[in-house]
Chains A and B, each alone.
Chain A
Amino acid sequence: MGLDRRGFVKFVVGGVAGTLFTPVIWQSLDDVSIWSQNWPWIPRLNKGEVKSTAALSKLCPAGCAVKVKTLGGLPYAAIGNTANPMSKGGVCPVCAGGAQLMYSPARVASPMKKVGEGKFEAIKWEDAEAMLVEKLTAVKGQEGKLAVISGDETGSANDVFSAFAAGMGSTGFYMMPGEMLTATKGVKLMGGNGQPGFDIAGADFVLMIGADALDSWGATVANQKAFAATRPTGGAATAQFVYAGPVLNNTASVSDKWVAVTPTGASAFALGLANLLIAAGAVSSAPDFADYKALAAKFTPEAVEAAAGVKAEVLKDLAAKLKAAKAPLVIAGASFGQGAGAVDFCAAASLNVLLGRVNVTGGMTVLPTAPKALAAAIGRESALDAGSFLSAVATGKATPAVLMVYEANPAFALPQAGEMAKSLGNIAFKVSFSTYMDETAAMADLILPAPHPYERFDDAMNPYGVAKPTYLAGKPVVKKPVADCKDPVDVLLAAAGKLGVSLGFETYADVIKAKASAVGADLDTLTAGGAWTSDGKGGNLSLGAAALAKVAPAAADPKTLAVAPVTRQAFGSGSLATPPANLLIVREDELTGKDLVVRMNAATAKAAGVTQGAKVKLTAGSGELKARISVNEGVAAGTVAVPMGFGRSAWDEFTKGKGDNVYKILTVSDEAGTGLKVWAGSTVTVAKG
């Protein structure tokens, strides 16, 4: 049978018509539309059982007690742990994105060895540990040749690192700057011993001088919970909060009043209040009251107005409120959590002594010295600061051959950052124990990746600011770390064994167990999300008059502006660049494109000759910072507010090269009488650029 063209066409038409009565077209159309809903490059959700496990999330400086939500065993979110007395179900913005940080592109994937400027090569753990032991062997028994910098204020890892340094014959254990270091020294100036605590929960009037207590200072979430308890939604407030500092920050935004105090005026402001309180009849049984009274008398409202920029009536009103309050509390702190001196701490803290608010409910407490896990460890009260150490390296006074850096980022987060990084460069062999590729790791000769908090044992003894002795501990949430990492303490303990330095432990978990038993806490309760607290109180305090005698009302130089760095928990910290899940929180008036935005009030901007959006250069010594101007009335006169934590040169695509690093323009000076380095009073010149 043949087929002509016409027949063929009929056949085809019949075929097409027939197809319409089959699912071919309709089903294909439907399926294609479904296919287009599920592009293969769009990530799919995972399946499995949702569980939540208690963890100690030491991503923020104080550490949040959280519950990690896992799906099929893998973390995906963190929620608060309502059973934990510290965080009571709250989570800070950094810890809320903790699961995402486990997969941060900045994570160090495996041990790495430097093979050239900015170039690294992945090596095996056994080679890395052998290299560490070899370098440490060379400096064993030589004072000053081994140095350790720790950026973790609360962990027992410090006990191990400092005891190891001692065992190696070195006294070089240094802490990154923070409130804990200065305040503990401040307490000493007041005749006490231990770290101070502040019982916000029990106070009915809280004056925060500098301390950004409700966002980035101390045990933030615990502070926020204490604040929230005094503000029942829909009810009457049971406590008043006043923030005194150079910037109308997050803490000031919810306080009943913001008192604009210039960055250098905090001590004068505090003593001005003391003067008014004494005039109103306040007396103290402290032995140095007479000296203190004479000293405070110099800080008349007029003098305070000149030194701190606070109007006399504001000061008087505040003094009257402090006097009238049943349970007033003054929190002393630097407005960006560091850089103020021990004397500054004394000035503010002495108000608590004057008001009889020490070691009472709702007052300032002094925490007894915490037990150590290792006898040879250095206690908090005798810790040395990393800034002074690196300055000594810069001048050749200190010549370490090996530096171990634990959970710290001195190349980024020390004042005069440029010079600090340079002096780090002078140290022949640097080991960075770091979870992330931070600026210090990027300079190190050997990087030993540390686990993320969900992958490790860790603990937190007395996070700064807590009113009572407090101890938290956590264990891993996941079975296996994401990266090829090892716990730094485990690595160190193994190295110590090979070096013949006996520390008495094999793993960090054992150290924590020993610490818990020294404290008298049940470790299982702690790792299940509980907390240990006790009521131990330290001794009495003096007013610190001898130290305060050095406070002189400083006169501002009209040609320069005072720098007020602004911290926000969500920005991360010195040792953590803004986490991926927190990027959205950064506002346009903090970062625009790659430009950092600095703020000053209209009067200051006018005097400096700059306008909204203008590009400027802020210069201090050899440090220079580029930024744009935002005119904002939430900044004290003669002050420029600079967001802190930007201008990263390592990390990931989300943070590298974004903004500029305020540490570059913070200049260090020596605090009279204490030998501490301070940089809270840094000044800059502003030029258009």
Chain B
Amino acid sequence: MEEKKQCKGCGGALPFVVGFVAAVIAGWVLFPGVLYSKQNQPIRFSHKVHQEQGMECASCHSFREDGSYAGLPNNEKCMECHADVVGSDPDELKYVEQYAKTGKEVPWLIYQSQPDNVLFSHKAHESFECKSCHLEVEKTDTPPVYYENRLSGYSKQTMKMWQCERCHAENGVSNACHVCHK
């Protein structure tokens, strides 16, 4: 009975505040962990090692003759060097055995992948630095973890429409629908 009384005494806003704070913590700290699944790249690709070999970004991430962007290199490109094992990294061995020799393309996880209804021209955005939209990976030895949204299936880093629109507006570029949609 006394406890009950005590409770009544300390009632007031406390349970509300506790609930509120708990929800805020859960929502900001725990929810993202639930919403996103973590995935690692199929091959632990080291940008750092490749840079140390004196390679430029454009050696692999290049424009094609028609102005389209090749994005990630395919086997053909990788195999220019890695048709056979050239180093001692176990992931290189994995690449050579599982992909280069079988002809299967590596299912890289694309951090910035956009859905089919979006048309993005890298050529039109060439004057921007890569890192203004992409993760800075050039010095990483292990690629960043890929977070996939369990609901939408998009990558956590996928740029949303409001971000595209804001930048277009700030730079005085048209925000007409077809500028970005297909």
Question: Which chain B residues in 24-83 approach chain A with CB under 8 Å?
Answer: 24, 26-28, 31-32, 35, 64, 66, 68, 70-71, 74
| Across-interface contacts of B177 in A (CB, < 8 A) | none
Question: Which chain A residues in 1-38 approach chain B with CB under 8 Å?
Answer: 1-4, 6-8, 10-19, 21-24, 27-28, 30-32, 34-35, 37-38
Interface bin, chain B = 35 or more
Known: A13-B19, A37-B117. Is A21-B27 also a contact (CB below 8 A)? Answer: yes
* Chain B residue at smallest Cβ distance from A44: B116
Q: B178 CB to closest chain A CB, in angstroms?
A: 17
Interface bin, chain A = 35 or more
**Interface flag for A49 (CB, 8 Å):** yes
Known: A3-B15, A4-B7, A35-B153. Is A23-B22 also a contact (CB below 8 A)? Answer: no
Q: Report Cα–Cα, A31/B156, bound state, in Å.
A: 11
Q: Which of A18, A28, A48, A49 contacts B19 (CB 8 A)?
A: A18
Q: A49 CB to closest chain B CB, in angstroms?
A: 6
In the complex the two chains form, is A14's CB within 8 Å of B31's CB?
Answer: no
* Chain B residue at smallest Cβ distance from A32: B151
In the complex the two chains form, is B11's CB within 8 Å of A22's CB?
Answer: no
Q: A396 CB to closest chain B CB, in angstroms?
A: 56
Q: B44 CB to closest chain A CB, in angstroms?
A: 23
**Interface flag for A294 (CB, 8 Å):** no
**Interface flag for B157 (CB, 8 Å):** no
| Across-interface contacts of A130 in B (CB, < 8 A) | none
In the complex the two chains form, is B68's CB within 8 Å of A17's CB?
Answer: no
Q: Report Cα–Cα, A99/B78, bound state, in Å.
A: 29
Contact with A along B1-32 (1 / 0, CB 8 A): 00110011001011111111111101110011
Known: A15-B22, A27-B35. Is A35-B115 also a contact (CB below 8 A)? Answer: no
Q: Which of B11, B23, B71 contacts A19 (CB 8 A)?
A: B23
| Across-interface contacts of A47 in B (CB, < 8 A) | 71
Q: Report Cα–Cα, A31/B152, bound state, in Å.
A: 5
Q: Report Cα–Cα, A500/B154, bound state, in Å.
A: 62
| Across-interface contacts of B28 in A (CB, < 8 A) | 22-23
In the complex the two chains form, is B7's CB within 8 Å of A3's CB?
Answer: yes
**Interface flag for A50 (CB, 8 Å):** yes
| Across-interface contacts of B71 in A (CB, < 8 A) | 47
* Chain A residue at smallest Cβ distance from B154: A34
| Across-interface contacts of A38 in B (CB, < 8 A) | 115-116, 152-153
In the complex the two chains form, is A35's CB within 8 Å of B151's CB?
Answer: yes
| Across-interface contacts of A555 in B (CB, < 8 A) | none
In the complex the two chains form, is B68's CB within 8 Å of A18's CB?
Answer: no
**Interface flag for A607 (CB, 8 Å):** no
Q: Which of A15, A30, A34, A45 contacts B20 (CB 8 A)?
A: A15
In the complex the two chains form, is A35's CB within 8 Å of B16's CB?
Answer: no
| Across-interface contacts of A1 in B (CB, < 8 A) | 3, 7
* Cross-chain pair count, CB within 8 angstroms: 108
Q: Report Cα–Cα, A689/B15, bound state, in Å.
A: 83
Q: Report Cα–Cα, A47/B7, bound state, in Å.
A: 63
Contact with B along A145-183 (1 / 0, CB 8 A): 000000000000000000000000000000000000000
In the complex the two chains form, is B7's CB within 8 Å of A2's CB?
Answer: yes
Q: Report Cα–Cα, A48/B7, bound state, in Å.
A: 66
Q: Report Cα–Cα, A6/B19, bound state, in Å.
A: 13
Q: A55 CB to closest chain B CB, in angstroms?
A: 20
Q: Which of B17, B66, B149 contacts A31 (CB 8 A)?
A: B149
Q: Report Cα–Cα, A23/B35, bound state, in Å.
A: 11
In the complex the two chains form, is A45's CB within 8 Å of B116's CB?
Answer: yes
* Chain A residue at smallest Cβ distance from B158: A34
In the complex the two chains form, is B17's CB within 8 Å of A14's CB?
Answer: yes
Q: Report Cα–Cα, A28/B151, bound state, in Å.
A: 7
* Chain B residue at smallest Cβ distance from A42: B116
In the complex the two chains form, is B24's CB within 8 Å of A7's CB?
Answer: no
| Across-interface contacts of A34 in B (CB, < 8 A) | 115, 151-152, 154
| Across-interface contacts of B66 in A (CB, < 8 A) | 50
Q: B99 CB to closest chain A CB, in angstroms?
A: 15
In the complex the two chains form, is B19's CB within 8 Å of A22's CB?
Answer: no
Q: Report Cα–Cα, A313/B26, bound state, in Å.
A: 93
| Across-interface contacts of B13 in A (CB, < 8 A) | 10
Q: Report Cα–Cα, A19/B71, bound state, in Å.
A: 39
Known: A4-B7, A32-B151. Is A11-B16 also a contact (CB below 8 A)? Answer: yes
Known: A11-B16, A31-B152, A45-B116. Is A18-B27 also a contact (CB below 8 A)? Answer: yes
In the complex the two chains form, is B152's CB within 8 Å of A35's CB?
Answer: yes
In the complex the two chains form, is A15's CB within 8 Å of B117's CB?
Answer: no
* Chain A residue at smallest Cβ distance from B103: A479
Contact with A along B110-128 (1 / 0, CB 8 A): 0000011100000000000
| Across-interface contacts of B115 in A (CB, < 8 A) | 34, 37-38
In the complex the two chains form, is B11's CB within 8 Å of A7's CB?
Answer: yes
Contact with A along B137-160 (1 / 0, CB 8 A): 000000000000101111000000
* Chain A residue at smallest Cβ distance from B24: A18
List 8 A-B pairs, minimum CB-CB distance, nearest first.
Answer: A22-B27, A14-B19, A18-B23, A14-B16, A31-B151, A15-B19, A18-B20, A10-B15
- Known A14-B19, A22-B28; further 16 A-B contacts with Cβ < 8 A: A2-B7, A3-B15, A7-B15, A8-B15, A10-B14, A11-B15, A11-B16, A14-B15, A14-B21, A17-B16, A17-B23, A18-B19, A23-B31, A34-B152, A49-B64, A50-B68
Q: List 11 A-B contacts (CB under 8 A).
A: A1-B3, A6-B11, A14-B18, A18-B21, A19-B23, A21-B27, A23-B31, A31-B35, A38-B152, A38-B153, A48-B74
